[in-house]
Amino acid sequence: MVSNIVNELVEEYIRNMIPKSSGIIYEMEEYARENNVPIIQPEVAKFLEVVIKASSIKSILEIGTAIGYSATVFTRAMNIKGKVVTIEKNEEMFEIASKNIKKAGYEKNIEIKFGDAVDVLPKIEGKFDMIFLDAAKGHYQKFFSLCYEKLNDGGIIVSDNVLYKGMIASNKYVKRRKITIVKRMRKYLDYISKHPNLTTSIIPIGDGVALSYKNREEL
Ligand SMILES: C[S@@+](CC[C@H](N)C(=O)[O-])C[C@H]1O[C@@H](n2cnc3c(N)ncnc32)[C@H](O)[C@@H]1O
C-alpha cells in the first residue's frame, strides 16, 4: 500500500532496501495485500523492529490486531523473549489472527483480547514498555487516556497513521467526510507533542508515525 505523504520514488527505494520476508510473515503480507487488510507498511515494520531492539523492549500492548501481522513482527523483534497483548474488536480478524499466531508458534508470547479497546483496556493489568495505537484514528485520544498509566516510565507510545494521507498537515488534502477524524487527530498530535511528561517525535514514514517517550521521573 502506497502512502501519500512520502515521495513515491523515495518510498520505493527504501522498500527495495528491506530484505524480502519469508514464512508466515510473508504469508500474512500476501493475505493482507489480496484482502485489503491495512497492516503496517514494510518501512514502518522495519523502523519499529529497530526501536524494539534498541530499547530492549520486552512487553507491548497493541490496539488493533487485524490479522496479527504487527504482533508477530514485534514478537520476532523481541527474540521471542517478550510478551504482546493485543486487542481486536472484529470477530473475523480475531479468528484469523489467532490462527496466524498459532502457525507462527507464538501462542505463548501473544495474547489476543477480543472486544472494543475502550471496554477491554480498563481490565488489562500490568505495565508495558511499548504501547502501539493502530485502530480507529478518531479515537486515539480516548485510547491514550486509557493506556497512559499502563506505560512504564522510559516506555514509548507509538501512534500509527497520524499524518493520514497528508490530510492532517494541510486542509488542501482533506476529504469532507474525513473532517471529524482530521480535527481529532490534529488535537491528539498537539496534545502528545505538548504533554509535559512525554517527548514526542512525528516521523513522516508510512502514513505517519508518532513516537512518544514517557520521561523517567527525576532520580
Ligand atoms: C490498521 S488495522 C491493525 C493492523 C495491525 N496492527 C497490523 O499492522 O498488522 C486496525 C484494526 O483495529 C481494529 N479496531 C478498530 N477499532 C477498534 C477498537 N475500538 N477496539 C479494538 N479494535 C479495533 C479493526 O477491526 C482493525 O482490524
| Among protein residues, the one whose CA lies closest to atom 11 of ligand 1 | 64
**Which of 41, 43, 134 has most ligand 1 atoms within 8 Å of its beta carbon, as the pocket-test mutant?**
134
**Residue 44 domain boundaries:** 8-214
Name residues of the chain where pLDDT drops below 50: 219
- Given the DSSP bridges, would you call strands 83-88 and 59-63 parallel, antiparallel or unpaired? parallel
- The answer to the question of residue 112 being in a domain is yes
pLDDT one-digit tens code per residue, 29-73: 999 999 999 999 999 999 999 999 999 999 999 999 999 999 999
Q: How confident is the model at residue 196, as a pLDDT? A: 96
- The answer to the question of residue 75 being in a domain is yes
Contacting residues for 199 by C-beta, under 8 A, at least 6 apart: 212, 213, 215
Q: How confident is the model at residue 219, as a pLDDT? A: 45
- DSSP per-residue string spanning 80-127: T-SEEEEEE--HHHHHHHHHHHHHHT-TTTEEEEES-HHHHGGG--S-
**Residue 116 is assigned to a ligand binding site:** yes
Q: How confident is the model at residue 53, as a pLDDT? A: 97
- The answer to the question of residue 138 being in a domain is yes
% of the chain residues with pLDDT over 90: 92
| Among protein residues, the one whose CA lies closest to atom 26 of ligand 1 | 66
- The answer to the question of residue 2 being in a domain is no
| CATH number for 43 | 3.40.50.150
**Which of 89, 130, 137 has most ligand 1 atoms within 8 Å of its beta carbon, as the pocket-test mutant?**
89
* Nearest by Cα to 155 from 190, 188, 122, 131: 131
For residues 84 and 153, is the Cβ–Cβ distance under 8 A? Answer: no
The number of folded domains in the chain is: 1
**Residue 110 is assigned to a ligand binding site:** no
Q: How confident is the model at residue 16, as a pLDDT? A: 97
Distance 154 CA to ligand 1 centre (A): 25
**Residue 117 is assigned to a ligand binding site:** yes
Ligand 1 contacts (CB < 6 A) are 38-40, 63-64, 66, 69-70, 87-90, 93, 116-118, 134-136
- The answer to the question of residue 177 being in a domain is yes
- The answer to the question of residue 199 being in a domain is yes
Query: Which atom of ligand 1 approaches the CA of 87 most closely?
Result: 21
Q: How confident is the model at residue 3, as a pLDDT? A: 62
Distance 218 CA to ligand 1 centre (A): 35
